[in-house]
Structures are given as C-alpha cells and as structure tokens.
Amino acid sequence: MTPTISIITINWNSGHQLRECLDAIVGSDRQKFKLDKVIIVDNASTDTSLNGLEQLDLPLQIIRNSVNQGFGAACNQGAAVCNSDYLLFLNPDTRVAEDSIDRAASFMDESLAQKVGVVGIQLVDERGRIQRSCARFPSPTNLWCSILGIDKLVKSELTSYMMTEWNHDNTQRVDHVMGAFYLIRTELFESLQGFDENFFVYFEDLDLSYRVHLAGWCSYYLADTRSFHKGGGTSEKIKATRLFYSQRSRILYGYKHFNWFQATAIALATLTIEPITRIGFALLKFSPSQATETIQGYIKIFANLPAIYKSIGSSIINN
C-alpha cells in the first residue's frame, strides 16, 4: 500500500523562498508516496510570502497565526490537522530535488523492521557544497567545548555535537538529522507528543530526536538524494535575537536531559564565560559587528532570565 505524507512548513517572513520551496514540491516525483497535504503554518508574517500560493497545484492548507508561536508549537499545529502515515517537516529555505521525498519515503517504508523512525537527506548550499548537518546528542563535555570555543579550534567527536569531522557523503545511522528536512512516522510523533513547545526555536528537533532514541527508534541520514538548503533563513536578519534563542534553548536542553549539577554549571558558564569567548573570537576576526551582536544577544538573555527558568520548570514538570 502506498504510504501517505503530509508536508509541514513553518513560515515567518520567508519572502520568495517559500514559493520556491513549494514549486520544488510541485515538481517532485510521487511514485513511492501519496501527497496528502501541504500545510503552511504562518507565524504572523508581515511580508508578502503567502501571496498567490493558492494557485499552486498542491493540496495546500494555510494556518495563519496572529502572533509568532515559535517553531515547535507551529509544527505541532500543522501536525494536528494531518492523518498521513508520515510527516515531513520542511524548511521554507529548502528546494528538494525531484527524487528527494520519493527516496526518503521509500527508505522509511522499507525500514520499519529496523525501527527507523526519522529520515533526513543530504543538504547542499548554493554552490553545491555538502552541509555537515547531522549531529550527535549534546553532552556536557561537548557543550563545555562550545562555551570555551574549543570546538572552533579542534573538530572531533569529543569537542562538538555537530558531526563536522564527517564529510556526509555516505548513508548511515546517526543520532540526529537537521530539522530542515525531517521525515518522521506520524504514529511515533504523536506517541511522543510532538515537539516540546518550551523550545521556541533551536534544539527542539534535537530534543525530539533524543526522545525518538529513548523510545527505541533510530534516525538515518541518506546521502543518495539531496535538497538545496540556504541555511540561516530569515534569522540572518536578526542575529542578536537568534543568539538569544539559541542560548536559551541550550540552557533548557541541559536542564531537561542532564543532571541538575551539570545543567547548572552549563547555564552559569553560558551566562558568564561564553560572552567573553564569543567577543574575543569576534575581535580576533576583526568583526566589531559580531561583537556588538553578541552583546545585544546577551543583554536580551539577562533581561529574560526569569521567563527562561519558568520555561525550564514547565518542561521538567511535563516530561
């Protein structure tokens, strides 16, 4: 029986990228799956990215939020209206190749006995270079290496949770595939109650992959099909805010998955040591703008500490 897939894309001021993403879906092969729905969850965009999308030859449904709900919450909104076998979370800054979804669906359909719960594919940039997008589950050790800047100097399994030392040119089992193209079994997603909405953005996909692992399933990276992925997306325009959400989510991840002592040490180091290392590296690169963005990001972090720790408490209670 041909499996069904629903594609969920979260939009926030993606501009022309969203239309290009959907155009690529229109041109995709559909020999190994049936496209049930394409859900666009718009997080209160103020641009024209939604204009004219209804003209596309797709089973399209648009959910319009009046405020930005965050990435994980918006993904859950989209998933809630789907009844397909698989859910594909696809970033608007991607453009899949003709066979991308077909190959991923075929692999997923054939790998039930292997307990493959999540599949990702090779991502490339505008110059065709392979992005090193897979990750190990974060540990206190590699997070400390990130805080101290060691991961920028030494690329290894010990110093970074990102698998930057591997060239990503072969198919293999991994801990985590990037959420830019994240195909998951719907039944598994629902059994895990989807994304943890306490992560506004960043680490929510890592957290889900870890819970997939704890549930006895695994993730696979496919190197024989690819998608263009710009990377950074609309957050490139708001780098200080991006830093704020990234650090917020890292602190939350630590308290959710490490012991209290480890999580607290990482949180304190994130707030005290890392700003110094980040500013130091920025100045060594003669990038005063990056140093300024770091300062602005950390001002936002300190201003929001009460709310951050409220989210931490909520996540711990719910999990």
Tell me the per-residue pLDDT of 218-264, one tens digit each, with 9 for 90 and over: 999 999 999 999 976 554 557 899 999 999 999 999 999 999 999 99
Report the distance separating Cα 268 and Cα 291, nearest Å.
20
Give pLDDT < 50 ranges for the chain.
235
Q: Which of 152, 213, 219, 144 is nearest to 184 (CA)?
A: 219
Give per-residue pLDDT as tens, 149-171: 998 888 888 899 999 999 999 99
The pTM of this model reads: 0.93
Report the distance separating Cα 107 and Cα 84, nearest Å.
17
Report the distance separating Cα 37 and Cα 275, nearest Å.
44
CB 140 within 8 A of CB 261: no
